[in-house]
């Protein structure tokens, strides 16, 4: 490390408090190797000139999430002049994609250090698959509603020995594949961006969507939010899902034809674990709230205290390694 510590600028955060990412431990870690210019708790929109002043002399950006990154313009970065590297702790879709494009154009190295959130969502999906196949919610409901000791315990499934399908193998899907590997499962994936060679190297089978839906005991959605995926699981696709199967959605309700999905779930043919909805929150009279074959959580798959801490830590560690190599 050079004798003069690099200066790290933290832009303002929204949606959740700055301290969620930067608890005392993460503050200490960052200050162990860097000087800090912190606008994480800032509330006011910055003009071009103000952003230049904030960036002037800063060697690194520590971006907690995608809130307000539109203020970090190409022109401001070039005018400030010193920026070398930027790390994102919590990836926020298109806003972060656009930020990275601007920074790369300005010659700034970019680091996606957001795996902590991807891990958390994949962990939720794994838990939903296990709980859903084992029908834990069904047994809980029975035992709390007057059934002293259910006698039909053998009808529940299990993960070992099952066929699991992933629709999309992106940022979260790759982690879920990793989490599923210790189990004795057949893994099918549908992802037009994945080659058969890449699938073989990952130890999964690439199939078309129809085959996946018809074959799998559990299906987990992880496709990206792009125009081509809008309502990709529609009435026809829902009819292909096997009776008694499990559908898990921790991505976005964007991927479903939501009217067709609600109608299909009312038949009771298969079960669903959901963390995302359209709209959010679902209405008080939404039929999904009434169905025993639907388990609902309120968009919390990636939202835990540990996730926020780890997001901050991973990004700080990425910056520390960057400057260590250049010391």
- Nearest Cα residue to 243 out of 271, 209, 207: 271
- Two tokens, residue 290: 């009434």
Contact of 69 with 96, CB cutoff 8 Å: yes
Phi, psi angle pair for 65, to nearest 5° = -155, -175
Among left, alpha and beta (phi > 0; psi -120 to 50; other), residue 2 is beta
Which residue in 252, 271, 310, 320 is the catalytic one?
252
Contacts of residue 311, defined as CB under 8 A and 6 or more positions apart, other chains included, come to: 21, 64, 89, 90, 113, 114, 116, 117
- Does the active-site annotation cover 321? no
C-alpha angle 161/168/295, rounded to 5°? Answer: 65
Q: Which residue is it, tokens 């959740």?
A: 16
Note if 90 is an active site residue. Answer: no
Catalytic one of 75, 280, 289, 326: 280
Residue 252: active-site member: yes
| Given the residues 68, 262, 269, 299, the one annotated as active site | 299
User: Any idea of the CA torsion for 34, 35, 39, 40, to the nearest 10 degrees?
Assistant: 30
Q: What is the CA radius of gyration of the chain?
A: 23
CB 243 within 8 A of CB 269: yes
**Catalytic site residues?**
252, 280, 299
């Amino acid at each position: 490390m050079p004798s003069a510590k690099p200066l790290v600028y933290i832009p303002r955060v929204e949606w959740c408090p700055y301290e969620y990412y930067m608890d005392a431990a993460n503050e200490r870690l960052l200050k162990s190797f860097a000087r800090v210019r912190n606008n994480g708790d800032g509330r006011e929109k910055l003009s071009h000139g103000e952003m230049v002043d904030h960036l002037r002399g800063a060697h690194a950006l520590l971006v907690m999430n995608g809130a307000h990154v539109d203020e970090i313009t190409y022109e401001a970065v070039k005018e400030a002049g010193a920026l070398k590297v930027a790390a994102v702790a919590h990836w926020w879709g298109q806003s972060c994609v656009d930020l990275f494009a601007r920074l790369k154009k300005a010659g700034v190295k970019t680091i996606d250090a957001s795996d902590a959130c991807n891990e958390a969502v994949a962990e939720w999906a794994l838990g939903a698959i296990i709980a859903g196949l084992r029908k834990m919610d069904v047994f809980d409901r029975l035992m709390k509603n007057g059934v002293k000791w259910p006698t039909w315990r053998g009808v529940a499934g299990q993960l070992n020995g099952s066929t699991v399908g992933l629709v999309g193998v992106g940022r979260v899907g790759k982690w879920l594949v990793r989490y599923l590997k210790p189990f004795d499962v057949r893994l099918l994936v549908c992802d037009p961006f994945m080659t058969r060679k890449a699938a073989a190297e990952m130890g999964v089978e690439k199939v078309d969507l129809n085959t996946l839906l018809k074959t799998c005991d559990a299906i987990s959605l992880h496709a990206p939010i792009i125009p081509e995926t809008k309502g990709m699981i529609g009435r026809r696709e829902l009819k292909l899902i096997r009776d008694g199967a499990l559908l898990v959605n921790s991505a976005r309700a964007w991927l479903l034809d939501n009217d067709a999905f609600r109608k299909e779930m009312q038949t009771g043919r298969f079960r669903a674990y959901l963390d995302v909805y359209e709209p959010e929150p679902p209405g008080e009279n939404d039929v999904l709230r009434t169905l025993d074959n639907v388990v609902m959580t309120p968009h919390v798959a990636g939202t835990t205290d540990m996730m926020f801490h780890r997001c901050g830590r991973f990004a700080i560690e990425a910056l520390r390694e960057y400057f260590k190599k250049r010391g």
